[in-house]
Structure 1
Amino acid sequence: MLARHADPIAAIATAPGRGGVGIVRISGKNLAPLIEAVCARSLKPREATYLPFRDAQAQPIDQGLAIHFPAPHSYTGEDVLELQAHGGPVVLQLLLARCLEAGAAICVRVAQPGEFTERAFLNDKIDLAQAEAVADLIDASTEAAARSASRSLSGAFSSEIHALRDALIHLRMLVEATLDFPEEEIDFLQKADAHGQLSKLKHTLAGVMRRTEQGALLRDGIKVVIAGQPNAGKSSLLNALAGAELAIVTPIAGTTRDKVAQTIQIEGVPVHVIDTAGLRHSEDEVEKIGIARAWTEIEAADAVLFLHDLTRAGGADYQAADAAIAALLTEKLPPRVPVIDVWNKADVEATAPAAGLRLSAKTGAGLDTLRRKLLEVAGWQSAPEGVYIARERHVQALRRVDAHLSQAETQLAAQAQMLDLLAEELRLAQNALNQITGEFSSDDLLGVIFSSFCIGK
């Protein structure tokens, strides 16, 4: 634990701006002198008391509720004081300044971003996955994301990780016992069905990985880029998906010169849709820059909507240009990125090639099919009620666990000759699990995670 973690900290815990109520939060050891100075009395534990908050001359700054949570029964595990005042920014700044002044003797300082939640983690009130869920709950933009973050905060995700870890520790114990007592005639591993235990562990891990990938998708969403020739209806499609006139639409080819982005929600999954400049050869310097930016966005996409114009589908020049774009997409995109062929202007032209989706950005026909297709290519399978929020680092950690367990299977099949390597793979798998909940984490990792929080958390 770093030296700064011993300092009492204070911060405004509500969002910037005006509101009916604002909160100043203080956490640290032995807050009694500060409480006496600001509240002019002691407070009963966990009982809201209405009183004036006093300045250094004993004059009231404001009146509100004061609540004292003695350690260890608080959010941070330390003594916590919450002062609930009127939510004007000047009032809250005056109250925070008074707390810093009154707490000077015990070295109270302004909290860093996420430091309250960091202390909750360091004091074993929550684990690292739950701490991240606090930020995800605050940032949730949909009901599904909020409910999933709440499940992670309550420990649903952590419980699954702990169950995996406990099973892994038991298997490690058997392997270590075999290594420690090689002269024993009893084959510990065979008797304890180590093969069966490892297979069951991998099966359980596979289920956790599926749910974690769904949770990461619910949190981060997917980036979808609309690409195609000019005047195929890319901007119209963005407007139709977003339900708003975000991009300028005209019959003039090359109207879109730069990307236009909008995040939409499909069954609670964020889909970041990006409209790009039409792909063609151009001598116009501004349009060339727009086309270059379009390819940059395409190369970073999770999925590409290759939009075609049904009304021009029979033209030889149009087909040749589409074929050239398709070849470049194949060249520039990794195989994992799906390219969805979408044929627009179905309200004008009735026939369409067999491959691809047929829709009308003008009338909205076919948009629901496209939305379902986007969820399909994203890998969305679970209903929101069964998903806990997760992050990409959780997904990557579980993939490392899976890789180590696969290696462990290979070593176990070799029996005694490879038991030391088997033990090492199991140890590495456990380390990867521990990184999710924070039983083993570097200070650098903690700094990155908690720095993304707001000040009052």
Structure 2
Amino acid sequence: MTASQPPIAAIATAPGRGGIGVVRVSGPDVAPIARALCGQTLKPRHATYLPFLDATGDVIDHGIALYFPAPNSYTGEDVLELQGHGGPVVMQMLLARCLEAGRGIGLRLAEPGEFTRRAFLNDKLDLAQAEAVADLIEASTEAAARSAARSMEGVFSKAIHELVDKVIHLRMLVEATLDFPEEELDFLEASDARGQLAVIRANLAGVLAQARQGALLREGLSVVLAGQPNVGKSSLLNALAGAELAIVTPIPGTTRDRVRETIQIEGIPLHIIDTAGLRDDTDDEVERIGIQRTWDAVGRADIVLHLVDATDYVRNGLSPIDDQIDDRLSGVLPPGSPILRVVNKIDLAPAAGDAHFSSNRPHVVAANGPNPSEVWISARSGAGIELLRAHLLRLVGWQSSGNEGTFLARERHLTALRNAQSHLDMAAEQADQQAQALDLFAEELRLAQDHLNSITGEFTSDDLLGTIFTRFCIGK
């Protein structure tokens, strides 16, 4: 447990009106505050219904008081929770009374995330579990909430600790050999270091794959609909969302600004952004601004759906009328973000036996070479929409089966795992050298361990802690 810190207090429930509101106090000794507000000594871990009193003994509210003595509390300190009626005025009155009663022991308002930060500093949670608390609160889908709960229970942390234990064991063998150079043994052969390292790398790859899935659940995907005017971008937004969100007309240039909607596919939040049609020959200043905003959205996209008109596409020999758009999209997109060509309006295409519009033909076409893959759809009739949904997830690596054990992960977790993977790869290269440099081998293992430890907070800078916890809500 860390050195004693001054007690803190905050309203722990969301702003606004509700049936119940909670004021939380945490610190080294909150029993006097409890007696001042409740008029009696509270029995630990028992709910007591009573009046909450002001300094003159008048009743502020009636509610339930809970007292959790250290170390058996959320923060590891003494914790007092007052559950009253959830009106903003009565909550402020209770908080003010707590601060008044605790003035003599230095009670102050809590900073954002300070309760959970104290739980981390007092070894009640590791850093990955602490972050999962905020992720559970902010979860936008049921799948994300379940994954955050698993992370909060320690599933992610357990996987990291198992990796660290294996790295430590291998480091112990390497460094013991370095301490006794007179032992003329081939260390890598005698201890099966290569085999142990291969197991660690395989396990890390599995954890990284799960973390990527968890990151998708947490962050979702930014999907930008791009293309020339009147190719059906707004119709596709409406079809994906299942509601008439965007105005659809046959007039080119109807969409002047970005229209954003979040949908779910298999629990993954997809932030769909409908944009102004891409063309260079407009004299409309408003439309020009909308087109620039389209390119700005493309520059931040996880994936771009490039829509083309099916009739024009076939007439032009399976090439968009403006085939330079693909090149421009590729030049603006962030590295690694894919482009999916969506051939829309197949219901309006000529039906004279054209194989591309045969009802027996799959709507998904896998392209070869540098061209993006294609999905053939009708946003108006719904043909191919489900295939498009599935293809979107495949493009970003989502695996729909076997995700019951997925834990939520953040970008910093992915970065740490990738860095650890890189150092383990370097260790494997050292192991394959003819002249084995065990000191370099050991150093790569140490660096990999440091990156893994940063996930759970066993090796973490104060600056990073400040960044993480200040993003929490104040009562947490």
Give TM-score scaled by structure 2 length: 0.92
Instruction: Give the Cα–Cα distance (whole angstroms) in 2 for the partners of residues 332 and 414 of structure 1.
Output: 41
The corresponding residue for 2:313 is: 313
- Is 1:18 the counterpart of 2:22? The answer is no
Q: Does structure 2 retain, via aligned residues, the 8 Å contact 1:174–1:189?
A: no
In 2, the alpha carbon distance for the partners of 1:118 and 1:404 equals 30
In the TM superposition, what are the counterparts of 1:420-439 in structure 2 within 5 Å? 420-439=439-458
SS in 2 for 1:6: coil
Question: In structure 2, what is the equivalent of residue 444 of structure 1?
Answer: 463
Cα drift, residue 330 of structure 1:
3.3
Please give the alpha-carbon distance, in whole angstroms, between the structure 1 residues aligned to 2:327 and 2:417.
Answer: 35
Q: Are the equivalent residues in 2 in contact too, given 1:214–1:382 (CA < 8 A)?
A: no
TM superposition shift of 1:6: 0.9
Kept in 2, the 8 Å contact 1:49–1:66? The answer is yes
Q: Is this contact kept in 2: 1:228–1:322, CA < 8 A? A: no
**1: CA distance, partners of 2:439 / 2:161:** 24
SS at match of 1:252: coil
The residue that corresponds to 1:81 in the other structure is: 80
Deviates more, 1:431-440 or 1:249-258: 249-258
1:315 deviation in Å?
Answer: 5.5
CA distance in 1, matches of 2:292, 2:441: 50
Deviations 1:86-120 (A, max 9, x none): 11111111000000000001111111111100000
More helix by share: 1
Moved more, 318-327 or 93-102: 318-327
- Please report how far the alpha carbon of residue 327 of structure 1 lies from its aligned counterpart in structure 2 after TM superposition: 2.6
State the secondary structure of the residue aligned to 1:199. Answer: helix
8 Å Cα contact 1:13/1:22 also seen in 2: yes
1:382 offset after TM fit, Å?
Answer: 4.5
Q: Give me the whole-angstrom Cα distance separating, in 2, the residues matched to 1:103 and 1:299.
A: 52
Alpha-carbon separation, structure 2, partners of 1:86 and 1:167: 51
Which region of structure 1 is more displaced relative to structure 2, 353-362 or 269-278? 353-362
1:261 deviation in Å?
0.9
Which of 379, 383, 386 is 1:365 aligned to? Answer: 383
User: Does the CA contact (< 8 Å) of 2:308 and 2:320 recur in 1?
Assistant: no
1:414 equivalent in alignment to 2:433: yes
Pairs within 5 Å for 1:59-208: 59-208=58-207
- Give the Å deviation of 1:337: 2.0
In structure 1, C-alpha distance between the alignment counterparts of 2:73 and 2:114, rounded to whole Å: 14
Q: Where does residue 50 of structure 2 map in the other structure? A: 51
Aligned-pair distance for 1:385?
A: 1.7
Report the equivalent of 2:239.
Answer: 240
Distance in structure 2 (CA, Å) of the matches to 1:409 and 1:292:
47
Per the TM alignment, residue 239 of structure 1 is displaced from its structure 2 partner at its CA by: 1.3
- Verify the 8 A CA contact 2:313 2:320 in the aligned structure 1: no
CA deviation after TM superposition for structure 1 residue 142, in Å: 1.3
C-alpha separation in 1, matches of 2:293 and 2:332: 14
In the alignment, structure 1 segments of 5+ residues that lack a partner are: none
- Give the letter aligned to residue 348 of structure 2: V
Aligned twin of 1:293: 293
One-letter code of the match for 2:19? G
Deviation of residue 201 (structure 1)? Answer: 0.6
Q: For the aligned residues, what is the CA RMSD?
A: 2.0
Find the counterpart in structure 2 of residue 258 from structure 1: 257
1:402 counterpart = 2:404:
no
Separation in 2, partners of 1:168, 1:49: 50
Q: Secondary structure at the match of 1:308?
A: strand
Cα drift, residue 412 of structure 1: 2.3
| Partners of 2:188 and 2:431 within 8 A in 1 | no
Moved more, 254-263 or 310-319: 310-319
Name the CA distance, whole Å, in 1 between partners of 2:334 and 2:34. 60
Amino acid at match of 2:191: A
- Mean Cα displacement is larger for which, 368-377 or 316-325? 316-325
Q: Is the 8 Å Cα contact of residues 227 and 277 (structure 2) preserved in structure 1?
A: yes
Instruction: Verify the 8 A CA contact 1:177 1:188 in the aligned structure 2.
Output: no
Which one-letter code corresponds to 1:414 in the other structure?
Q
Alpha-carbon distance between aligned partners in 1 of 2:427 and 2:311, rounded to the nearest angstrom: 58
1:374 aligns to what? 392
The CA deviation at 1:311 is 3.6
Shifted more, 314-323 versus 427-436: the winner is 314-323
* Structure 1 residues 68 and 172: CA distance shift in structure 2, 3 A: same
AA of the residue aligned to 1:292: Q
Q: In structure 1, what is the Cα distance between the partners aligned to 2:310 and 2:183?
A: 76
User: Letter of the aligned partner of 2:328 in structure 1?
Assistant: L
**Cα distance, 1:36–1:416 mapped onto 2, change above 3 Å:** farther
Instruction: Write the letter of the residue equivalent to 1:441.
Output: T
Greater CA drift, 326-335 or 207-216: 326-335
Shift of 1:320: 6.3
Aligned to 2:371: none
Cα–Cα, structure 1 residues 374 and 317, in superposed 2: closer, same or farther, change >3 Å?
closer
Cα distance, 1:326 vs structure 2 = 2.0
**Aligned partner letter, 2:332:** K
Worse overlay, 180-189 or 123-132: 180-189
User: SS at the partner of 1:227?
Assistant: strand
Distance 1:307 1:8 in 2: 58
- In structure 2, do the counterparts of structure 1 residues 442 and 415 end up closer, same or farther at CA, with 3 Å as the change threshold? farther
Q: Does the 8 A contact of 2:300 with 2:334 survive in 1? A: no
Q: Which moved more, 1:281-290 or 1:187-196?
A: 187-196
Name the counterpart of 2:338: 338
Counterpart residue number, 2:274: 275
CA separation of 1:34/1:335 partners in 2, compared to 1, >3 Å: closer, same or farther?
A: closer
Determine the C-alpha separation between the residues in 2 that align with 1:231 and 1:11: 53
Q: Distance in 2 between matches of 1:190 and 1:313?
A: 61
Identity over aligned pairs, percent: 64
SS, match of residue 322 in structure 2: helix
Query: Aligned partners of 2:71 and 2:117: how far apart in 1?
Result: 15
TM-score, normalization by structure 1: 0.96
Whichever residue aligns with residue 329 of structure 2, its letter is L
> 2:7 touches 2:25 (CA, 8 Å); kept in 1?
yes
Q: CA deviation at 1:340?
A: 1.1
Structure 2 counterparts to residues 34-49 of structure 1, below 5 A: 34-49=33-48
Quote how far apart the aligned CAs of 1:292 are: 1.2
The number of equivalent residue pairs is 456
